[in-house]
Amino acid sequence: MNPDTPNVELPTANATRPPLSIAAAALILLVGSLVTFLGSIWYLRKAYAGSMSQFLLYAHSFSIALLDLLAILLVVFGLLGIVTSIGLLYLREPARKAAIFLSTVFTRDKVRSQFR
C-alpha cells in the first residue's frame, strides 16, 4: 500500500445489487409487461391462427383492423417494458429514463390540462 493514496475499499458483489425499491419496481414492471405481451400475442394467434387469408378477410373492417393495431402496439410496449425491467435490475441509466417515460407517457396530456 502506498501511504500517499487514501484507504479505498474495493467494491463488493453487493455493490452492484439494486436497492430493494428498484428491484420491486422492476419486478412489478416485468410482471405487468409479461402479462401485456403474452396476452396480446395470444389474441393475435387466436385471431389469425397463422392463416393470412383470414387476415385479408377481416382487413376490410375498420374496427377489427383498429383492434389488431392496438394489439400490435401492446406487444411493442410489452417488449419495451420487459427490456426496461431487465435494465433496471442491472442499474442501467437508459432503463431508468425509459421507466420514467413508461410511467408518464399516457398521463402527460391529463397533467397538462389540469395546469392550464
- In a domain, residue 12? The reply is no
In a domain, residue 13? The reply is no
**What is the number of structural domains in the chain?**
1
Model confidence, pTM: 0.69
Any domain includes 2: no
pLDDT digits (tens, 9 = 90+) for 34-79: 999 999 999 888 877 766 666 666 656 777 778 888 999 999 999 9
Confirm whether 37 is domain-assigned: yes
**60/20 Cα distance (integer angstroms):** 50
Where b means 16+ CB within 10 Å and e means fewer, 19-58 reads: eeebeebbeebbeebeebbeebeebbeeeeeeeeeebeee
- Give residue 93's domain range: 19-103
Whether residue 111 is contained in a domain is answered as no
Radius of gyration of the chain (CA): 22
In the chain, at which residue ranges do the beta strands (DSSP E only) sit?
none
Q: What is the pLDDT of residues 21-33, one digit of tens each?
A: 989 999 999 999 9
Judge whether 92 lies within some domain.
Answer: yes
Q: Report if residue 112 sits inside a domain.
A: no
Q: Would residue 71 count as lying in a domain?
A: yes
